[in-house]
Amino acid sequence: MSTAGSLPALGDLSLIGETTEVPLITGGATRYKNLDYAASAPALATVAEAVTELLPLYSSVHRGAGYKSQLSTAAYEGARVAVHGFFDARHDDCVVFVRNTTDAMNLLAESLPRDSSVVAFSSEHHANLLPWQRIHTVRYLGCPATPGEALEALERHMRSERTDLVAVTGISNVTGEVWPVAEITALAHQYGARVVLDAAQLAPHLPVSIRGLDVDYLAASGHKMYAPFGAGVLIGRPDWLGQGAPYMRGGGAVDFVTTDEVLWTSLPDRQEAGSPNVIGAVALGVAAQTLQAYGMDRIGQHERELGAYARQRLGAIAAVDMYRLWPEEADRLGLVTFNVRGFDHSLVAAILSAEHGIGVRHGCFCAHPLMLSLLRISDAEVRRARDQLRDGQHARIPGAVRMSLGLGSSAADIDAMAEAIASVANHGPRWTYRLDPSTGDYGPSPDPRAVPRVHFPLSWSHPGGGESS
């Protein structure tokens, strides 16, 4: 059994904001305990340093003759090389910079041959469920009870129906379970289908080799890889990405234009129309280099041990119900989704924040079909919730609380979380909270906490329960 004192620490990877103190609703302040890495991770210090170094040199890329422009172009293309190496891509794989994983999946959906047949499990994040519907035939397989059941369901489907693309996650953003991507890919290739890997949750936590897994496409987000500057990536085979008109049409994606004809340029520029996010791409490249140099195996082991400790601590609280898709022995990372019996998930999240300085996520985590399955929501309840939402009522939408770990996480953070949850379960909140029916979120009322003095506009609202990818 793990104990706090026996767990490793990753002390030499510095993160921006890791010592930030936040005010408590009951008075005083505490170090912010970030247990929301699966939604968005803070910036690595190396990333922030690189961005600060680049800003005075920043200029337009690719066609500028000025010194700054040429240097910015070199930095942008250097980031492409760094990302290619981090994911161990094939020599001819194309690296396209995008905004995030959702953008990458929509780009790929537009690039597939028309009327392709796509299959995905209903346990996927919305970024890997929704983009295919607009253009292609999509089949959703149910939430599998084991990794073996996932493979069996996929093979049954592929034996009976033509499949061009299998869309699958690397790690569930709800349960933290590691999916059998290599086995899924081998099965898909056996039936002549390609595979796109949603690596948004996988890339920051475990080694990812495109060559080793043999996936055809991979999508990832910088904001989950400690580079929150608005860039993501789609990597993969160039044939689909280079055919037809590009996903976005505009300057930079062309060689020549008349009012009658367009000559689209070659990859990757073909899929990067408009002025690219140079700062974001460079940030992502530096994050990739930093994580690779540190050792992804080392990071993965650290987070597996912390995750097991977190499940042990929360599991010892009688009022806590934890959710998982697969048996307990399945490989999983540092992510725990749970509810505290007798308390709304949004209220628990609000209490953790206001009274303990702990940041978590609550809601359905952009994975509604999976959450409805885990929570065992009946069809009648689903219809009722849908009708309420159509009427603008968010007050009783089902959901849960999620804690997720990353580079800055420690056993002390987990202990603080467990103690706070036990206090909530045994004694309830120490403050008064109000439900906003228009959002379904609780917030402290009144809220006397001071607002920090910053040089940008603020428009306060209660935090939502979704997340981006």
**Which residues, in sequence order, are bridge partners of residue 117?**
137
One-letter amino acid at 275 equals S
Over the stretch 19-58, which tens digit does the pLDDT of each residue have? 999 999 999 999 999 999 999 999 999 999 999 999 999 9
For 172-224, write each residue's pLDDT tens digit. 999 999 999 999 999 999 999 999 999 999 999 999 999 999 999 999 999 99
Instruction: pLDDT band for 97, please (50, 70, 90 cuts).
Output: very high
pLDDT band at residue 394 using 50, 70 and 90 as cut-offs: confident
Among residues 100, 467, 128, the alpha carbon closest in space to that of 284 is found at: 100
pTM of the predicted protein model? 0.94
pLDDT at 11 over 60: no
State what percent of residues in the chain have pLDDT above 90. 86
At which residue do the structure tokens 């029916």 appear?
437
pLDDT score recorded for residue 408: 95
What integer pLDDT is reported at residue 5 of this predicted model? 46
Output the six-digit token pair for 87: 């994911």
Average pLDDT over residues 375-390: 89
**In which band, very low, low, confident or very high, does the pLDDT at 7 lie, cut at 50, 70 and 90?**
very low
Task: Indicate if the pLDDT at residue 466 is higher than 60.
Answer: no
pLDDT, tens digit, for every residue of 54-84?
999 999 998 889 999 999 999 999 999 999 9
Domains of the chain, start order = 4-44+295-444 (3.90.1150.10), 88-275 (3.40.640.10)
- pLDDT for 225 equals 98
Average pLDDT over residues 241-246: 92
The reported pLDDT for the residue numbered 465 is: 45
DSSP string covering 293-328, please?
HH-HHHHHHHHHHHHHHHHHHHHTSTTEEEE-SS-T
Q: Specify whether 94 is catalytic.
A: no
pLDDT in the model for residue 84: 98
Q: Which of 302, 38, 42, 284 is nearest to 171 (CA)?
A: 38
Per-residue pLDDT band for 244 (boundaries 50, 70, 90) equals: confident
User: At residue 460, does pLDDT exceed 80?
Assistant: no
Residue 429: CB atoms within 10 A of its CB come to 18
Query: Is the peptide bond preceding residue 463 cis, with omega within 30 degrees of 0?
Result: no
pLDDT of residue 396: 73
Q: What angle do CA 402, 168, 332 make, to 5 degrees?
A: 40
Helix, strand, coil fractions of the chain, as percent rounded to 5: 35, 20, 45
SS3 377: coil
For residue 466, give Cα distances in angstroms to 113, 236, 340, 440, 451: 31, 28, 19, 12, 24
For residue 424, pLDDT over 50 is answered with: yes
Residues 86-93, mean pLDDT to the nearest whole number: 98
The answer on pLDDT for 459 being more than 90 is no
Q: Which of 2, 23, 33 is nearest to 420 (CA)?
A: 33
Distance CA 7, CA 410 (A): 8
Contact by Cβ (8 Å): 221, 287 = no
Report which of residues 7 and 381 the model is more confident about: 381
387 pLDDT higher than 90:
no
**What pLDDT, on a 0 to 100 scale, did the predictor assign at position 1?**
40
Q: Quick: pLDDT tens for 148-172.
A: 999 999 999 999 999 999 999 999 9
Amino acid 463: pLDDT: 47
Q: What are phi and psi of 372, to 5 degrees?
A: -60, -35
Which listed residue (94, 143, 364, 366) is catalytic?
366
Residue 9 pLDDT = 47
> Are 68 and 210 contacting, i.e. CB atoms less than 8 angstroms apart?
no
| pLDDT mean over 306-322 | 98
What's the count of helices (H) and strands (E) in the chain, helices before strands? Answer: 13, 19
Q: What integer pLDDT is reported at residue 89 of this predicted model?
A: 98
pLDDT at residue 10 greater than cutoff 60: no
Closest residue by Cα to residue 371 from 169, 149, 202, 175: 175
